[in-house]
Amino acid sequence: MADTSTTDHQGWVEGLDRLTKDREGQDVTIEVLDRSFGDQREVERLPFAYTSYDPKDDVVIVAVGGSSSSHPVVLRHLVPHPSEVDIDPAAGAFRVVEQDGTTTIVSFFPRSGG
């Protein structure tokens, strides 16, 4: 799944910024795979706002909502201290792995309306 190197932090910044531009207006699903708590969907098909990597705070941010009256609030999913970020623009998904192995998978879908 890697278009952007899993260890190149500058590549994370550029790749996630590019993904934000390329996927504007799509819906997004965020799944968290955790050994302790199991696999959970945090967000299912909400409007994508942006994603970024903040090197100062060492965190990947995925934001949804905030773009319409039906989704007026922005929800931010934070992945602190990522050890891997794999971006696959062609597949419409990316994966972020935390140091403890917890994995966040973000998948994009054409907007279904609403």
pLDDT band per the 50, 70, 90 thresholds, residue 3: low
**Average pLDDT estimate for 35-53:** 91
pLDDT band per the 50, 70, 90 thresholds, residue 62: very high
Q: Is 101 exposed, middle or buried (0-12, 13-18, 19+ CB in 10 A)?
A: exposed
- 69 or 52: whose pLDDT is higher? 52
- How does pLDDT run across 65-89, given as a tens digit for each residue? 987 777 778 899 999 999 999 998 7
The predicted structure's pLDDT at residue 51: 96
Sheet (strand 82-88) strand order: 74-80, 59-65, 38-54, 27-34, 103-109, 93-98, 82-88
**Which domains are seen in the chain, by residue range?**
9-109 (2.70.180)
- The 8-class DSSP code of residue 36 comes to T
Does the pTM surpass 0.95? The reply is no
- How does pLDDT run across 7-39, given as a tens digit for each residue? 688 899 999 999 999 998 899 999 999 988 888
The phi and psi torsions of 15 (rounded to 5 degrees) equal -65, -40
Strands, E assignment, the chain: 27-34, 38-54, 59-65, 74-80, 82-88, 93-98, 103-109
